[in-house]
Amino acid sequence: MGGRGGPPPQPHLPAPKDECPLCPTGTGSVPSEVPEAAYDVVVFENRFPSYAPLSDHEPDPDAGRGPLDDLERTAPALGRCEVVCFTSDHDSTFAELTPGRARTVIDAWADRTAELGASPEVEQVFCFENRGQQIGVTLHHPHGQIYAYPYLPQRSAAILTQAQEHHARTGRLLGADILAAELEDKVRIVAESEHWVSYVPFAARWPVEVHLAPRRDVPDLPALTDAERDDLAKVYLDLLQRLDRYYVAKDGSPIRLPYIAGWHQAPARQGRDVSRLHLQVMSVLRSPKKLKYLAGSESGVGGWVNDVPPEQIAERLRDVAP
């Protein structure tokens, strides 16, 4: 399913600090989205949503008419797009949060996943963070987003299909078998804790890519226990701090890594018995000053080529532990 048309125009260049709408009220020259002088974590609806509740859509004069054929099916872009501000400090990052503050963000992700997933029009909830101008971020304030899709996105559908086929063939969860294989190989493990394991996947596609998975079979964020959430806050901060030490400038100072971090959860209504929660973090930065651009093979047919062995990525991430 693809989009036609699109949401209202968004900013094209990073906004300066005094024009940031995510900073607390009274700290900048533009109106703030947050009517508070300071805050810990804030969640609100995106002003430029790709998906929105039914009440936000104009009446469709063609609603109820069937498509001329199966190639041009359309439907209202029902769903939700929300913004999650991690801190009121514009110059901070998620990696600089305390474990207690990180736990608050985790609880917010879990609460919103549960509420959005309960909506009848929602099929998938995706919590993610884009960081860095190289990723296309227009607001540098530490924040992420939550998308509630009215369909199962292509990659989520592919992950579900693979999980279903593996379970039908073996009777086991694909995510659990992948984690077990990584723990057995050991060479791509980045870090371990009581409840979580971070590792570089066997077939990593990006110059820097790492996954984070719970030891217990868990379908989504709401299913995590208090102990697992507490541990996750510490493990995730550890991982992000390692990523910010992955590259260093000529003067020896660390380079804040641009990245996309996304939680892959069980769909809201199907395949929950075979799905397993995990986080995927990737970066397009292939050296301190070079980006990875997708070539014809990668963009054209999805034939990925990565010149960095996953074992090398894992070794580097182990070496830069906080």
**Would you say residue 107 has pLDDT above 80?**
yes
Is residue 12 a part of any domain in this protein? Answer: no
φ and ψ of 134, to 5 deg:
-65, -20
* Cα four-point dihedral sign 214, 215, 220, 224: negative
**Would you say residue 77 has pLDDT above 90?**
no
Q: How confident is the model at residue 76 (pLDDT cuts 50, 70, 90)?
A: confident
**Would you say residue 162 has pLDDT above 60?**
yes
Is residue 164 a part of any domain in this protein? Answer: yes
Residues 109-129: what's their mean pLDDT? 97
Q: What is the pLDDT of residues 260-270, one digit of tens each?
A: 999 999 999 99
Q: What is the pLDDT of residues 78-105, one digit of tens each?
A: 899 999 999 999 999 999 999 999 999 9
Q: How confident is the model at residue 7 (pLDDT cuts 50, 70, 90)?
A: very low
Is residue 256 a part of any domain in this protein? Answer: yes
Is residue 1 a part of any domain in this protein? Answer: no
- The three-class DSSP label of residue 84 is strand
Give the per-residue pLDDT at 239.
98
Gap between the Cα atoms of 142 and 40, Å rounded:
12
Q: Which two tokens stand for residue 127?
A: 């919590």
For 297, the domain range is: 17-57+74-319
Give the per-residue pLDDT at 67.
56
Higher pLDDT, 27 or 301: 301
**Would you say residue 119 has pLDDT above 90?**
yes
Give the per-residue pLDDT at 1.
42
Gap between the Cα atoms of 292 and 283, Å rounded:
9
Residue 209's closest CA among 232, 243, 185? 243
Ramachandran sector of residue 169 (left: φ over 0; alpha: ψ -120 to 50; beta: rest): alpha
Is residue 143 a part of any domain in this protein? Answer: yes
Is residue 148 a part of any domain in this protein? Answer: yes
Residue 199: strand pairing partners:
189, 211
**Would you say residue 64 has pLDDT above 60?**
no
Is residue 67 a part of any domain in this protein? Answer: no
Task: Outline where DSSP puts E strands in 175-238.
Answer: 189-192, 196-199, 208-214
From the candidates 143, 166, 195, 278, which is the catalytic residue?
143
264 as an active site residue: the answer is no
C-alpha angle 139-145-151 in degrees, rounded to nearest 5: 135
Q: Which amino acid is at 80?
A: R
Give the per-residue pLDDT at 30.
65
Residues 275-298: what's their mean pLDDT? 92
Query: Which one-letter DSSP state was computed for residue 307?
Result: S
Is residue 11 a part of any domain in this protein? Answer: no
Give the per-residue pLDDT at 62.
53
**196: CATH:** 3.30.428.10
Gap between the Cα atoms of 197 and 183, Å rounded:
9
Give the per-residue pLDDT at 37.
76
Q: What is the pLDDT of residues 194-245, one digit of tens each?
A: 999 999 999 999 999 999 999 999 999 999 999 999 999 999 999 999 999 9
* Segment 115-118 long-range contacts (CB within 8 Å, at least 24 positions apart): 116/80, 116/82, 116/146, 116/148, 117/148, 117/220, 117/268, 118/268
Domain count, the chain: 1
β 80-85/208-214 pair status: unpaired
Do residues 266 and 114 make contact, with C-beta atoms less than 8 angstroms apart? no
